[in-house]
Structure formats: C-alpha cells, structure tokens
Amino acid sequence: MEEEKKYYLTKDGLARIKKEYEDLRQIKLSKTKGDVPRVLQSEDLNAEYLAFQEDMGFLDSKITELEYILKNTEIIKNPHKDKQDIVGLGATVFVDVAGQQDEFTIIGTLEANPALGKISNESPVGRALLGHKIGEEVVVSSPVKTIYKIKKVKYHIG
C-alpha cells in the first residue's frame, strides 16, 4: 500500500465503494463455504464477478484496499455560496484553452474518468486549477506553456 493518502469521494462514489466492500465480504464468505454468491445473479459484470473468478489472494487484497480507502475518505461537499466562484473539488470548470472552449469536473482520483470529462484533482491540470477564481488565467508549466482561462465555475454535487 502506498503511503498515507486521502481519498476524496462524492456521496454516490462513497455509496458505491461501501456496496462493493460489503459484496466482496459476502463473496469471501460464500467462497469459504463453497457456495455461488447471490450477488452474481446480476447480469452486470462488476468487481464482484471479477473477485469470484479470481483466487482468494486477489479478493483479500481488494478487501484490504477498500478498507484502507474507507478509513481515509473525505466526502466532497459544495463550498459556501460566497466561495462558489473558486475552483474546488466537485466543481465543473468552463475554460478557454488556446481559443478552444472546454469543460471538466474536478473530482477525486477514484472517480476520475477523463473520457467522460471528469479529471482528477491529483492530475497536473486539476492541481493547477484548484483554488483559482473565475476570470483568472492558470498556467500549467512545462516546456509547452498552456494557459487555462477560467470562464465559469459550477457546483452541482448531489
């Protein structure tokens, strides 16, 4: 396991992790007894299916990982109204990059999915944008300079 780390999750994300954890524990119990777990009756192929296919070592390591995550979770909450013009976790940021308009939601690493416009707060761009306000320009430093002009910030976490 990597050194101590905090996992930022939405409420839905946390609920999913808790369910996965409970399901995996149930699979472990079923496997120990030699039964086919009830959770596998779902057609949705998921972590539980995977754990059932794999050996007990994989199942144990996944359960340990989830326990670690659950112990080190912080729920993402909307900031106070006065601070909703600042980019924070859970914000959808509308930017202008080299004349192109773009938008993405900044989220914790476990829920990040760049293909769906959800970028991690630990990515270089996510990290650079955090804490900046509407109207500011954020430079992501590297040999190639990229400037993100923040046009709009929106919070809509359920």
Place of tokens 């930017």: 95
Contact at 8 Å (CB) between 98 and 116? no
Stretches 9-17, 35-43, 71-79, 139-147: which one binds another protein (CB under 8 A)?
Answer: 139-147
Count of CA atoms in the C-beta half-sphere (13 A) of 78: 12
* Closest by Cα among 113, 95, 117, 116 to 104: 117
Q: Is 26 in the site for another protein (CB under 8 A)?
A: no
Gap between the Cα atoms of 1 and 36, Å rounded: 30
User: Quick one: which of 12, 22, 54, 137 contacts another protein (CB under 8 A)?
Assistant: 54
> Which of residues 14 and 24 has its CB atom nearest to another protein in the complex?
24
Alpha helix ranges (H) inside the chain: 11-33, 47-53, 56-71, 124-129
Residue 44 in contact with another protein, rule: CB under 8 A: no
CB-based contact 112:119 (threshold 8 Å) = yes
Tell me which of 126, 132, 138, 150 binds another protein, using CB under 8 A: 126
Q: Looking at 11, 56, 58, 135, which residue binds another protein (CB under 8 A)?
A: 58
Shortest Å distance, C-beta 75 to another protein: 19
User: Tokens for 32?
Assistant: 């120990």
**Cβ nearer to another protein, comparing 114 with 135:** 114
| Pairing state between β 146-155 and 137-140 | antiparallel
Binding mask 69-108 toward another protein (x if CB under 8 A, else -) reads: ----------------------------xx-xxx-x----
Q: Which residues bind to another protein, rule: CB under 8 A?
A: 2, 45-47, 49-50, 53-54, 58, 61-62, 65, 97-98, 100-102, 104, 109, 112, 114-117, 119-126, 140, 142-144, 146
